[in-house]
Chain A
Amino acid sequence: MSINILRSSIKIERQIDEFLNQISEAGLIFKSGTEAYLAGDAEGFEAKLADITLKEHRGDELRRTIETALYSKTLIPESRGDVLELLESMDYLLGGFKGALWRIEIESPEIPEPFHAGILELSDNVVKTAEAIVLSARAFFKDLSTITNHMHKVSFWETECDKIVSRLQRDIFRDDSLRLSHKMQLRDYTGGLDKIADKAEDVADKLAIYVIKRSL
């Protein structure tokens, strides 16, 4: 019985690792997808969209499998509620990256060249925020003592995202060559990217509480 539990524990450990990998990779795909769109590489963008959709499906599958195993095998009864919440919040990040690329696919927003650098910078910082929360989550499962090394970076990158979005939106609305509807579309698009970083910060706040609860 004991060996069985250990075996299923190791299997779930691998699945949790893979789930976190999906989020990390989804961030990178999102970044290159955005770059492709801004560069006008439609084919490259479509390929990234297909990739991120697959990642999101795989992430959902893994999350469901992990949650079911934690409950059916009565594993980590003290922490499983928190782990469940953490996985669902992390899944939101994965959905956020996929949603951002799909939004481009659906709306095909016209992004004037002067804003390209800002949007790329914003995408880069959103991905860095997500990367920091992925590292924090890994530390939560494996090594609590190193979690603070990653958690403070989440806040840092999220603040950077806020600054970039504010600057971008100010520039968009001060550009007289754009229609109001165009300005509002770009505002919503950049705001949507910033929301992914905001969510990552929310996860970090929750994680800080889970860490206190998990300390010996």
Chain B
Amino acid sequence: MTSIFFSSGIFLGWSLGANNMSNVFGTAVGTRMIRFRTAAVWCSAFVILGSVVSGGGASETLGRLGSINALAGAFMVALASAVTMFVMTKASYPASTSQTIVGSIVGWNLFSGSLIDYGALTRILSTWVFCPVLAALFSMLLYVLCRRLLRLTKPHMLTQDHLTRLGLLLAGIFGSYALGANNISTVMGVFVPISDFSPINLFGLVTLSAAQQLFFLGGLAIAVGVFTYSKKVIMTVGGGGIMKLSPVAAFIVVVSHSLVLTIFSSQGLSDAFVSLGLPAIPLVPVSSSQAIVGAVVGIGLLKGGRAIRWRTVGAICSSWAVTPVLAAGICFVSLFFLQNVFMQQTYRPERYRLTGAEAARLAPEVDTAGLDGLLGRTFANARDFKDRLDRVREYSEADLRRIMETARLCDASAATALQGAADAEGAARGAMP
């Protein structure tokens, strides 16, 4: 049964591989600088490596956006995401798993009555602006550097061709690793909290955690997508949708894209920023397509902007707004059917109840004055409990999280048991003189 539920994640991974390899190796293969088979082998190997080795960074933010707590729910979130990807691809829009998965998780949150972490959501949404802008800045900078370097070294056309070929291969490998590291969380991230995998020790050398095993599975699915369908996508998109690129420009675009993806998924880089007294880099899954579009537009702008097909850019940008909304809608409706027609548990209800003892425990850290009216009452879901808390006072995000964590009851049965205990406590208190 579990494997059936994982199938939607595998499907999503397959779509990611089919669609996003064109971002990494598309121009190299489209311009015949690198053979498809060579590109596919390198891409698959490094996507899997990136997923398993560095895949954890960005999944934490996704987990904060919505901690999906039932396997059927996670299945539907991934399926809604994959279906949206499929619909958008069929409609010739560059779909992105990071957008579809965010939309689907918000859809699950709305359906289950879970609280949407607006902090995490804002962080993710803001990267949808920062990511293309940053990629554009990187590509502009690299373009100027490359131009200067070529003017300085004056390589023969054939030597330049050879170096570009090598550069495209290395950039593609780097891009594939970054793609795996950053985007595997969009494919398998929703299954991480609920998977029943246990750690595996490989030859006494490496231990693969449950999450890494999931990411490996997702990486394999991406690799299958790369081998089975990406050539078709490359040949369709390879004509240069936004702008015709020279092989050197294509190299710059892929490097810029990979740098952006690495920045948003590297825990080490974020820690280094913090140690230098700079703000931490948000570790979020960013869209590979957005990074590519940003990088291409960056080079186009540097060349005066005339070569850019702005109509295509406009259509792509509007699809960035449509995709998450569509995914949220599909997910919400599908969850309704899964729960009511197929009788599957799509989420474990999380009830909230704050006892007097817990309030007392919170008191040194959080101002609990005004919470008396809430004590002993059970709230059906996070949204109801937060609405009630909001009426008491405007708590900071940290305080709110602390109160909610304390008051959270895991499932309905636990809530009922606790309700019974509270009732007994109330009765005992009433019996006291």
Contacts and interface: CB of A to CB of B under 8 A. Distances in A.
Interface of A: 2, 5-6, 9-10, 12-13, 16, 74-79, 83, 140-143, 145, 214-216
21 contacts: A2-B162, A5-B162, A6-B162, A9-B161, A10-B158, A10-B159, A13-B156, A13-B158, A13-B159, A74-B32, A75-B161, A76-B161, A79-B157, A141-B158, A142-B154, A142-B155, A142-B157, A214-B246, A216-B143, A216-B146, A216-B147
A5 B146 contact: no
Given A216-B147, A216-B249, A5 B156 contact: no
Interface string B158-181: 110110011000000000000000
Contacts of A5: 162, 165
Contacts of A76: 157-158, 161
B151 interface: yes
A142 B247 CA distance: 17
A2 B167 CA distance: 12
Contacts of A216: 143, 146-147, 150, 246, 248-249
The 7 A-B residue pairs with the shortest CB-CB distance, nearest first, are: A77-B32, A9-B158, A143-B154, A76-B161, A141-B157, A13-B156, A9-B162
A19 to B, nearest CB: 13
A79 B166 CA distance: 17
Contacts of A77: 31-33
Given A9-B156, A75-B158, A216-B143, 13 more contacts: A2-B162, A5-B162, A6-B159, A9-B161, A9-B162, A13-B156, A74-B32, A77-B31, A79-B157, A83-B157, A141-B157, A215-B246, A216-B246
Given A5-B165, A6-B162, A145-B151, A78 B247 contact: yes
Interface in B129-157: 143, 146-147, 150-151, 154-157
> A-side binding surface: helix, strand, loop or mixed?
helix
B369 to A, nearest CB: 66
Nearest to B169: A2
A90 to B, nearest CB: 15
Contacts of A140: 157
Contacts of B146: 216
A2 B146 CA distance: 21
Contacts of B151: 145
B48 to A, nearest CB: 23
Most buried by B among A74, A76, A141, A145: A76
B234 to A, nearest CB: 15
